A and B are shown apart, each in its own frame.
Chain A
Amino acid sequence: MLKQVEQWVKAALLEVQEYVQLVGRVSGAVVTRPYYYRDIVLQFEAIGVGSLVVVSLTGFFTGAALALQTGQTLDRFGARTLVGQLVSASMIRELGPVLTALMLAGRVGSGMAAELGSMAVTDQINALRALGTDPLRKLVVPRVLASTVMAPVLTVIADTFAITAGWIISVTNLGVSTSTYWTQVQEGLYLGDAWQGLIKPVVLGLVIGTVGCHVGLSARGGTQGVGRATTNAVVVASVLVIAVDFFLTPLLMRVLY
């Protein structure tokens, strides 16, 4: 029993070490040539454009539900008109980054793990190396760059959809006027919130991209291994998104306000 725990801890530490090494090597490769521009553009398209619908829908329904819920709660304090403030502040600071990142973990993290995983188990990664290509530059850098840069962009889109949905609900359901809603949306926002809402998704996007690639590249054992890698990537990336957000929030609050 103790031996098993020991083995498990060792394996976990090794995994973390390998992950950190990957992140280090990616950082090195991002600032040096050669770049695979075509692959970078393709990944920006696949990750950015490909996630638009998912992220917009998530944002829209979250904003709508948030407006309905908070409308009711605020009624108890006779403060229904503040609904715009609540929707914008909670979306931009917390829910927008986290929910977008969770969607990306499911859609993009799993995709990377599946794609790189099947390349790993069919020796395509080795074939790349044998043909003189560094898989890190060709496969990992484009994906990590795309997820890191597109996460904040997609988060802003999710926020926009959420605040718009909040407005629709406020006007149709809560009887709050359009001008009151939008004034409150602005009232609720500080510059620090905007920064927080942009910096968080950068970090979360980086986590999703590197975890997806790392888990994919270390896939072993045929199609079963690819399946395991895909599941692991989603689980690990999702938990990390929430954990990293938790630790990032107080840090950013101290720095930004």
Chain B
Amino acid sequence: MAFATARSPELEEALGPGSPIVVFDRVSLAFDDNVVLRDISFTLIKGHTKIFLGASGSGKSTILKLIVGLLRPDSGVIWVNGERVDNRTEADLMKIRTDLGMVFQEGALFDSLTVAENVGYKLLEEGAPDGEVWRRVDEVLGFIGLSEFIDRMPAELSGGQRRRVAIARAMSYKPRILLYDEATTGLDPITADTVDNEIIKLRDLEEISSIIVTHQLRDAFRIATHEAVHDDNGLRIVPADAAKAREAEFIMLKDGGIHFEGHAEELRDSRDPYLRSFLS
């Protein structure tokens, strides 16, 4: 099997702007007799945002783990960045993962390493020169506003800071797809907003395709309906125009299937009783 380096021009074009970057085709997965996902299909377009909603245990984290190849589906096909990930060996997956950044639920920072070592982990692992790594670590921590915590241990950080370090770690090696698993759950509204802003900034300024898992409607709507602009007045987060807002799509999971799929406005206007109970 060929990898990113060996793509034909035709495939390169097919993977250009407006093309799908993550595709699920009738994916099913069960743990023993607990069916978590049943025939799930969706497509994420390059530079767009998918927001997964659903009660806890509805399979949101499982979907992200399938994308990274940490789990294998029982059936169905998953494409990431033009490569199938559902039937690959761990060695193949390692190469595909260089274009994927995942922010785990609760962060999953390595607690034996400092913040800097966590953020620079992948670059060091790939054998990048030390100076280059620490420069990038500085840059990324500056981007998320945690420069002064560079030498702390994860245990010495607050919950919100830990999530932001997790985001820094996931973006440090410039993947083109970022997956966020409940990056704002359990945070106060002000801290949650700063995390949301990072997600918006990465999407709009670095052209990253994002998949966001949350059950906090407030954060989901904020990410869907805002955009980051960088102009003469500096960097600002402003309400997005209608076309931009339509680039973010919501998917509501329920009982192993997709209960709802649509944009922020459609979700807000929905009369579905289950959605209403979730929204209120």
Contacts and interface: CB of A to CB of B under 8 A. Distances in A.
A122 B108 contact: yes
A126 B109 CA distance: 11
Given A123-B104, A123-B105, A130 B110 contact: no
Contact of B70 (A124, A126, A133, A134): A126
B171 to A, nearest CB: 12
B228 interface: no
A127 B70 CA distance: 9
B25 interface: no
A124 B102 CA distance: 12
A130 B111 contact: no
Contacts, number: 45
Contact of A126 (B65, B94, B122): B65
Interface in A124-174: 124, 126-134
Contacts of B97: 129-132
B174 to A, nearest CB: 13
B108 A127 contact: yes
B98 interface: yes
Interface string B76-111: 000000000000001000100110101011101111
Contacts of A131: 97, 121-122, 125, 169
Contacts of A122: 106, 108
A123 B170 CA distance: 14
Contacts of A128: 110
A20 to B, nearest CB: 19
B231 interface: no
A213 to B, nearest CB: 16
A132 B94 contact: yes
A123 B122 contact: no
A134 B105 CA distance: 21
- Determine which residue in B100, B125, B126, B169 has the highest number of CB atoms from chain A within 10 A of its CB, and name it: B125
B68 interface: yes
B61 to A, nearest CB: 9
Nearest to B169: A131
A128 B104 CA distance: 11
Given A126-B65, A126-B70, A127-B110, A132 B105 contact: no
B117 to A, nearest CB: 11
Contacts of B110: 124, 127-128
A129 B97 CA distance: 9
Contacts of B100: 130
Interface string B99-143: 010101110111100000000011001100000000000000000
A175 to B, nearest CB: 54
Contact of B104 (A127, A132, A133, A134): A127
Nearest to A124: B108
A10 to B, nearest CB: 12
Contacts of B111: 124
Contacts of B109: 124, 127
A134 B111 CA distance: 18
A15 to B, nearest CB: 15
Nearest to B90: A134
A131 B118 CA distance: 11
Interface string A25-57: 000000000000000000000000000000000
Contacts of B70: 126, 129-130
A132 B106 contact: no
Given A126-B65, A126-B70, A132 B125 contact: yes
A47 to B, nearest CB: 16
B108 A123 contact: yes
Most chain B Cβ neighbours within 10 Å, of A123, A128, A129, A130: A130
A123 B103 CA distance: 11
A131 B99 CA distance: 10
Interface in A103-127: 122-124, 126-127
Q: Which 6 A-B pairs have the closest CB atoms?
A: A123-B108, A127-B108, A123-B104, A131-B122, A130-B102, A132-B94
11 contacts: A123-B104, A124-B109, A124-B111, A126-B104, A127-B110, A129-B97, A130-B68, A131-B125, A132-B98, A132-B125, A133-B125
Given A122-B108, A126-B70, A134-B90, 9 more contacts: A123-B108, A124-B109, A124-B111, A127-B102, A128-B110, A130-B100, A131-B121, A131-B122, A132-B122
Interface of B: 65, 68, 70, 90, 94, 97-98, 100, 102, 104-106, 108-111, 121-122, 125-126, 169
